[in-house]
Amino acid sequence: MTAFSRRRALGLGAAGAAAALLPRASRADAEATLRVSSSDPIDESASHYVWYEKFAANVKAALGERIKFDYFPNSQLGKEADVVEQVKIGSTDMMVTGSSIWATVLPELGMLDLGYMFDDYAHAGRAMDGEGGQALTKLLLERTGVSVIGWGFHFGARSVYTKAPVHTLADLKGVKLRVLPAPAFIETFKIMGAIPTPIPVNELYTALQTGVVDGFEHDPGTCLALKLYEVVKYCFLTEHLFSPMGAFLSKRGLAKIPPDALPLFLKAAADATAEERAIASAKAQESLGKLKDFGIVFTPMPADERKAMQAQMASGLYAKFADQYPATKPIFAAIAAARG
């Protein structure tokens, strides 16, 4: 394994330690089949699928037919919050998703969803590969038994998409925006003046059509993959969040991997993470271009508003979060130190 792969094999040490504790009787040497869930469709514009596609190809190249996957896209196994519980108990082996939904079981992960936590994805990558990401991965393993075998990137920063034009934060006042059911998202958008409305992503298209919400916040790749451009026409480029996505492996799923195959399995995940990250920036620009072609009108957030929001988040929401979850205090420091 190269040094590059080792740095990106986030959770590998934790996963290896967990594997070492498993009774040998629970590890069949026969072929293993893992159930893998994603809320995204099978689409090259979908970051979840691109990571999974790379991972599955790497596993096959390294291990042949010894390990197979049953891939369930488009929230086929249920709402993301329900799939999180499935992964916790092991009825679903693996989930490729944003870090956000896992804050429902590990609140500390919610720090990654606080507005303007990261400057860009390069900053996010350094932070998640370093002490901050390693600490969060360890906390998740200790609390839930779930391992993170890779932290990838979404295809672009999250911004605000609406049915009516938004030019400044004042225009967001009273706008009902779909957000994930995570406190960090809700608090961030309250500060920004909107009305945060938690809705499962697989219900978002209909919610926009029927007026349950006036818009949403997400990355451009997901907007494209879920065809949300059909029901919104404006994007306010807040770029408030460069949150990572992760591959979350259940304890039972980990136990299915034969001991001699585990190092190659984990290396396949590390390599998939590096490969997916490498194409994320180009995919983000491609997705933005396609959304423009579909008629989305983009409005940059005014620089003074962005600067004011960053300051307000740091002095208010970050400090409050760290007081509520003391384990995050050194993680905040590690993320700040990872800035370029």
Q: For 258-296, how does the pLDDT look when each residue is reduced to its tens digit (9 = 90+)?
A: 999 999 999 999 999 999 999 998 899 999 999 999 999
At residue 210, the pLDDT reads 97
The pair phi, psi for residue 121, each rounded to 5°, is: -75, -25
At residue 243, the pLDDT reads 85
pLDDT (tens digit per residue) in 173-188: 999 999 988 788 898 8
Instruction: Report the alpha-carbon distance of residue 56 to residue 59 in Å, rounded.
Output: 5
Under DSSP, the state recorded for 296 is P
Q: How far is CA 37 from the centre of its chain?
A: 13
Instruction: Report the alpha-carbon distance of residue 130 to residue 126 in Å, rounded.
Output: 6
- Which residues make beta-bridge pairs with 249? 94, 147
**Other C-beta atoms within 10 Å of 339: how many?**
12
Domain ranges of the chain: 3-154+243-280, 158-241+287-326
The pair phi, psi for residue 81, each rounded to 5°, is: -60, -35
Overall fold of domain 158-241+287-326: D-Maltodextrin-Binding Protein; domain 2 (3.40.190)
**Whether domain 3-154+243-280 has CATH 3.40.190.170:** yes
Q: Which alpha helices (H) appear in 64-182, and where do they start and end?
A: 80-89, 121-129, 131-144
Is the distance from CB of 325 to CB of 103 less than 8 angstroms? no
At residue 19, the pLDDT reads 37
Residues of the chain with pLDDT under 50: 1-30
Residues 6+ apart with CB under 8 A from 314: 116
Q: Do domains 3-154+243-280 and 158-241+287-326 have the same CATH topology?
A: yes
At residue 100, the pLDDT reads 87
